[in-house]
Amino acid sequence: MLKSPDPHVFIVFGGTGDLMRRKLLPALHSLARQGEIGKRFKVLAVARDEMTDSAYRDWALKALEEFACEVAGSDENSTWCNSCLHYQTIGKADQAAFEAVRDRIVALEKEADIPENRIFYLALPPSVFPGTISGLGEVGLNLSEGWTRLVVEKPFGRDLHSAHELNSLLHTYYDEKQVYRIDHYLGKETVQNLLVFRFANPIFENLWNRVHISSVQISVGETVGVGSRAGYYDRAGALRDMVQNHLSQLLTLIAMEAPSAFSADAIRDEKVKVLQSVAPIKSNGVVFAQYADGNVGGEAVPGYLQEDGVAPNSSTETFVALRLEIANWRWQGVPFYLRTGKRLKKRLTQVVINFKKPPVSLFEPFDDCNINANRLALTLQPDEGFDLGFEVKRPGQGMSLKTESLKFQYADEFSQLPDGYETLLHDVMTSDQTLFVRADEVESSWRLYEPLLSGSVGVTNYEAGTWGPQEADRLLAQNGDWWAKL
């Protein structure tokens, strides 16, 4: 049974932004409909726009009609908006504006008889994180007679130095126990299930090591281009946008040791150990590339340099492939291959575990009895589930082998998976930091990838609608491996 949140005020900076509209409002509304949030609960949206509470509720109702699962325009949606949602302008974001936010919070708490329990969610561009954190701290909104929690969206820094500076600023006003660095990938049910899959099933965990596994592949493919995010993306690139956070989180969950307990710090301790055990990435172990024009899903699409908002001479990578080596007892000698890119052939997040072949083939004739290695594919999105390949004998005379599979799909057993933001917001409300990234984890990740940000890695091209450049295939061929067919 889920723990019920204490009464509190949920304050969103960036309350008229796309994240609020598409994700946070629908998630909060869904939690309320499920009874996961009590009646003594208020949302205060904070943004620069001049707007009344009534106008904001109309805006929020349209957002729910478009993005929530409930029936569009229902009276229930309207009732919730009118009872829960409030708006406060931040104007110039100076001290007077933050004092006005503080006063509005206090007024809402008195009006609804809510103790001083507060969640501050920074749904903002990273450039304004420091000013917002300082502004909250300087007017005393980092402390209260109840509890105070601060949620920070990714990206958390642009490199090791900026991440360290941001952590230092946070710790000036907030204790680490108050800080929730959110990576929405960790809210996905299938990502969380990686821990259950490994540590609740000894049949797999006993094989989860260098003795039985030959390689691990983690692929996150996107069919979309940069779209309206070109202004941000052209300054970031795939390494910052995807690898340093999302793919690294998957890497740690796949490679970590069993924690001493299923608790936030125990799990995060093991994740940090993985990152600290990764050997420096070799120059021949990385591929950067940028998509050219091509065809995705039957539609002609432009190349990255033709996208609106992209500099015409940009060398920003939209594809990254890496070979990592984890120098510890469990994984020594097992290559981990990571790849992600935009405008790829398919939208997919998948982890592939390649097991070792038998040392000797006992079956003849050898040309008909080629033994394929067992392969476990864990699909995290879409069509969530897993597929374990194994060898069988074809019926009939003689000895001929065929690869078959054991499959499980979530859709066959569960009607609907909750949105990741629902899970993560509920965890913030109930003070569970298990699925959130700790300060040392962020810095360990940046320390690993920062050498690749120097510009020393050349950027090649790949045709949109493919799985990336040929150089990514050659990256695996150096070890006699190849990418799993997706």
Q: Do 191 and 149 share a structural domain?
A: no
Q: Considering 137, 153, 169, which residue would you say is the last residue of a domain?
A: 153
> In the chain, how many domains are there?
2
Q: Do 212 and 106 share a structural domain?
A: no
For residue 70, the model assigns a pLDDT of 53
Q: Do 221 and 72 share a structural domain?
A: no
The answer as to whether 179 is a domain residue is no
Cα 103 to chain center, whole Å?
A: 34
Q: Considering 129, 153, 177, which residue would you say is the last residue of a domain?
A: 153
The domain that holds 235 is classified in CATH as 3.30.360.10
Q: Do 343 and 196 share a structural domain?
A: yes
Q: Which residues, given as ranges, of the chain have pLDDT below 50?
A: 71-72
The domain that holds 103 is classified in CATH as 3.40.50.720
Q: Do 141 and 206 share a structural domain?
A: no
The answer as to whether 371 is a domain residue is yes
The answer as to whether 117 is a domain residue is yes
Question: Tell me, what DSSP letter sits at residue 394?
Answer: P
Positions annotated as catalytic residues are 246
Dump pLDDT digits (tens) for 372-398. 788 999 998 888 889 988 877 778 766
The answer as to whether 405 is a domain residue is yes
The answer as to whether 163 is a domain residue is no
Q: Do 224 and 137 share a structural domain?
A: no
Q: Do 215 and 146 share a structural domain?
A: no
Q: Do 219 and 144 share a structural domain?
A: no
The pTM assigned to this predicted structure is: 0.90
For residue 411, the model assigns a pLDDT of 83
For residue 69, the model assigns a pLDDT of 63
Q: Do 83 and 203 share a structural domain?
A: no
**298: number of Cβ within 10 Å:** 6
For residue 426, the model assigns a pLDDT of 92
Q: Do 399 and 289 share a structural domain?
A: yes
Question: Tell me, what DSSP letter sits at residue 373?
Answer: P
The answer as to whether 256 is a domain residue is yes
Dump pLDDT digits (tens) for 32-42. 888 788 778 99
For residue 72, the model assigns a pLDDT of 45
Q: Do 191 and 251 share a structural domain?
A: yes
> Which domain covers residue 128, as residue numbers?
8-153
Q: Do 334 and 196 share a structural domain?
A: yes
Q: In what order do the strands lie in the sheet with 213-221?
A: 401-409, 385-393, 375-381, 348-355, 213-221, 335-341, 319-325, 286-292, 459-463
What whole-number distance in Å separates Cα of residue 154 and Cα of residue 149?
16
For residue 365, the model assigns a pLDDT of 57
Query: 81 φ, ψ to 5°?
Result: -60, -45
For residue 399, the model assigns a pLDDT of 73
Q: Considering 138, 153, 168, which residue would you say is the last residue of a domain?
A: 153
What whole-number distance in Å separates Cα of residue 94 and Cα of residue 85?
24
